[in-house]
């Protein structure tokens, strides 16, 4: 029988327990295919059992890079160049002008169906959504949003979510921050990857986007 054990956030070890009960001969380097298969099984179990620590094994080291991103309409950042939000809170500020016909449309989207966040119009309501382990938590302001606006959406280190625009503030609570950096990239004005927000298919924003700023906390 073969089993695996791990050195925390460093590497996997692999032993043939039938021939090596005292675990003296590490086979990880010789059998990377088995290591990967067992590691994938562990990852699936750990995610389903909700035992992964915040910012720990799956998220790995925090992504190095800038803490502030200033973007404009039509911008796209690949996954490696997008904000490193794993294990950290952030603030998203969008300056835009909404028209009477903006009942649907994505202002900004980062991530996909597993991890990420989006700011979008859903049935005429501005909505901020956060995905964590595939579970979506969203908050929306009840009033119609039209004309020039500045919306501020935040995800706190404790999972607190808020959205403010035009004097209205709405709040919600997720289970925590985003656990892993989204593999899908970031789009301003649309969601060109797997849908991260509360929509089956993304619609582009038809109004004007002046700027989107994302500031990652240093916690």
Map residue 48 onto helix, strand or coil. helix
As a whole number of angstroms, the distance between CA 48 and CA 28 comes to 25
* Helix and strand numbers, DSSP H then E, in the chain: 1, 14
When pLDDT is averaged across residues 196-207 and rounded to a whole number, the result is 93
Give start and end residues of each alpha helix (H) in 3-107: 32-49
Nearest-angstrom CA–CA distance, 117 and 132:
9
Note whether 91 and 219 are within 8 A (CB): no
Residue 101 has pLDDT above 80, yes or no: no
Which residues, other chains included, contact 111 with Cβ-Cβ below 8 Å and sequence gap of 6+?
A: 117, 118, 131, 178, 182, 183, 184, 193, 196
pLDDT in tens, 124-139: 899 999 999 999 999 9
Q: How confident is the model at residue 55 (pLDDT cuts 50, 70, 90)?
A: very low
Q: Bigger pLDDT: 56 or 66?
A: 66
Distances (CA, A) of 218 to 25, 85, 139, 142: 42, 10, 24, 32
The per-residue pLDDT for range 77-88, each reduced to its tens digit, is 998 899 999 999
pLDDT value at position 56? 44
Separation CA 201–CA 129 (nearest Å):
15
Q: Which two tokens stand for residue 113?
A: 């169906």
pLDDT at residue 63, as a whole number: 59
Per-residue pLDDT for 200 more than 60? Answer: yes
Assigned token pair, 194? 């797997």
Report yes or no on whether pTM surpasses 0.85. no
């Amino acid at each position: 029988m073969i089993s695996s054990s791990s050195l925390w956030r460093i590497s996997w070890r692999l032993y043939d327990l039938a021939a090596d009960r005292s675990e003296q001969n590490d086979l990880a380097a010789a059998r990377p295919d088995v290591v990967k298969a067992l590691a994938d099984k562990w990852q699936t179990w750990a995610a389903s059992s909700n035992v992964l620590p915040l910012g720990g094994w799956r998220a790995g080291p925090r992504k190095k890079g800038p803490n502030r991103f200033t973007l404009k309409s039509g911008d796209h950042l690949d996954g490696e160049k997008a904000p490193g939000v794993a294990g950290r809170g952030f603030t998203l500020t969008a300056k835009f002008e909404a028209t009477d016909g903006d009942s649907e449309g994505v202002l900004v989207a980062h991530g996909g169906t597993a991890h990420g966040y989006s700011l979008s119009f859903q049935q005429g309501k501005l909505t901020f959504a956060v995905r964590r382990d595939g579970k979506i938590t969203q908050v929306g302001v009840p009033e119609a949003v039209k004309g020039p606006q500045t919306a501020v959406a935040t995800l706190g280190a404790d999972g607190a979510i808020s959205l403010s625009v035009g004097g209205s503030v709405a709040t919600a609570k997720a289970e925590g921050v985003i656990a892993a950096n989204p593999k899908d990239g970031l789009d301003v004005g649309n969601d060109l990857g797997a849908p991260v927000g509360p929509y089956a298919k993304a619609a582009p924003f038809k109004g004007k986007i002046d700027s989107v700023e994302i500031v990652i906390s240093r916690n």
